[in-house]
Homo-oligomer: A and B are copies of this chain.
Amino acid sequence: MFLLMELFYSGMADGDMLVLDEEESGHCAKVLRHSAGDMISVIDGKGTLMECRIVSASPRRVEAEVLSRTAGWGGHPYDLQMAVCPTKNMDRYEWFAGKACEIGVDSIVPVTGEHSERKVMKPERVQRILLSSAKQSLKGKIPEILEGSSVKDYISSCRSREERLKLVACCFEDGSRPRISIREALEGMPAECRAVSVLIGPEGDFSTEEVRLAVECGFIPVHIGPSRLRTETAAIAAVMAVYSHFLL
């Protein structure tokens, strides 16, 4: 049994004072009926947990004094960026985002492949899910959702990022470099490397050209075993593989 912890988020901390936004204030003052003098726990979304005392509470604005801070709260000893093509059905992408946050991810990039059916994605709903998932799983840092781009532009932007292990999960061999399992790729990385980027393709997989460009830019082509996984399942499997490598 774990203690159920009630957690708020504030992006507005200034020195020793912070303000909850309208939605968080409503939840704090109206739903949970907190008032001046009560202690609350607040995350700043960047990794810090703050223990606070409420100074004034109205249903639209709660102000609190920060009494203590814990940095790196609920953090993990790696940096993981997941570049994942949006799924046709957005529910499945939102599900991926929530679960990835629960397990441990740092940033998500919605990328569009040449075979992607969905070309646009509104990040707002995913952002809300990440916030609620971070609070639910007691993490001080909310994963960032970065601006979308094409798969090729994303790959090119990674070319110079040599400090990261870069993996592209594809369902076919492109001929230039044989695939290894994602686990082998992680086990082969230098011990000092703790930053990983994983690129996951759309329902129609990558084009041969995309994989070729990825290999040219330093991505290692990997597979996630023989099962035929959907985009969002492959993405979660990759998050689990990284988490398992560093933490299990």
Flag whether A68 is at the interface (Cβ < 8 A). no
User: Across the interface, which residues of B come within 8 angstroms of A76, CB to CB?
Assistant: 226-227
- Contacting residue for A182 out of B171, B182, B184, B248, CB 8 A: B248
In the complex, are the beta carbons of B2 and A233 less than 8 A apart? Answer: no
* Dominant SS among interface residues on chain A: loop
| Bound complex: CA A99 to CA B225 (Å) | 15
Flag whether A154 is at the interface (Cβ < 8 A). no
Chain B: which residue is nearest A77 at the CB level?
B226
* Shortest Cβ gap from A227 to chain B (Å): 6
Question: Interface readout for A225-248 with B: 1 if CB under 8 Å, 0 if not?
Answer: 111111001001100110110011
* Shortest Cβ gap from A113 to chain B (Å): 11
Instruction: Determine how many copies of this chain the complex contains.
Output: 2
- Among A103, A137, A184, A205, residue most surrounded by chain B Cβ atoms (within 10 Å): A103
- Contacting residue for A226 out of B225, B237, B247, CB 8 A: B247
Residues of A in contact with B, size category: 35 or more
Flag whether A144 is at the interface (Cβ < 8 A). no
Flag whether A11 is at the interface (Cβ < 8 A). no
* Shortest Cβ gap from A177 to chain B (Å): 18
User: Across the interface, which residues of B come within 8 angstroms of A204, CB to CB?
Assistant: 1
* Shortest Cβ gap from A208 to chain B (Å): 10
